A and B are shown apart, each in its own frame.
Chain A
Amino acid sequence: AQSVAQPEDQVNVAEGNPLTVKCTYSVSGNPYLFWYVQYPNRGLQFLLKYITGDNLVKGSYGFEAEFNKSQTSFHLKKPSALVSDSALYFCAVRDIRKTGRRALTFGSGTRLQVQP
């Protein structure tokens, strides 16, 4: 089975400081990995994804994520946080080998709070 864990329910960071939102995954083969963001009472918006290639993936709004196969992690990062980055962030995974269920599994979400 494929699964993903976001160990922190909430992350607090001061504006201008770097931020990290953690994600670890479990799949039997190689993973496809995604980050989505959700603003209050809205649908999710795509930030970035890792399919193959360079382990450092750059996405929307200055976010990036690093794929680490040995640690089975895909942490989301940004060098300098903005108050407007405050939202709920979801990591998602799809096992590349899975031929049955062709859909993502989402983590439980991490709320990012950026203080001015």
Chain B
Amino acid sequence: DGGITQSPKYLFRKEGQNVTLSCEQNLNHDAMYWYRQDPGQGLRLIYYSQIVNDFQKGDIAEGYSVSREKKESFPLTVTSAQKNPTAFYLCASSIGGQGLETQYFGPGTRLLVL
């Protein structure tokens, strides 16, 4: 899993609650990514950031928000607008943001709804 840490490992969300997933990297990578993994659907891109203070929506950004105030950190907030948040969330980073660089993944956070 390289130099990327995600916390917590498991997260429980109550109805109507916003929760934030942490992602930190010490690889000095410019680009960072958030993916959602559901069984049989592979990875779907939520948001990505090519550089500090900039980020773009991926395929399934609705109900999620991100920030990129520091190079090392790319937290993901799952808002109450996300009606089906139960999934495995993976953060990744790459040295550049052109899409051809190798991505390094964190160990993931499993989000469950109470």
Contacts and interface: CB of A to CB of B under 8 A. Distances in A.
Q: Is the interface of A mostly helix, strand, loop or mixed?
A: loop
Contact of B1 (A32, A43, A105): A43
Contact of A42 (B42, B56, B104, B107): B107
Given A9-B40, A43-B108, A104 B102 contact: no
Nearest to A2: B99
Contacts of A49: 100, 102
Interface residues of B, number: 29
A90 interface: yes
Interface size class of A (residues with CB under 8 A): 20 to 34
B43 interface: yes
Nearest to A96: B100
B43 A46 contact: no
Nearest to B44: A106
Nearest to A104: B99
Contacts of B33: 103
B42 to A, nearest CB: 4
Contact of A107 (B42, B50, B102, B106): B42
B37 to A, nearest CB: 9
Contacts of B106: 43
B56 A94 contact: no
Given A102-B50, A107-B42, A108-B42, A42 B108 contact: yes
Interface in B35-58: 35, 40-45, 48, 50, 56, 58
Contacts of A103: 33, 45, 48, 58, 99
A42 B1 contact: yes
A14 interface: no
A46 B42 contact: no
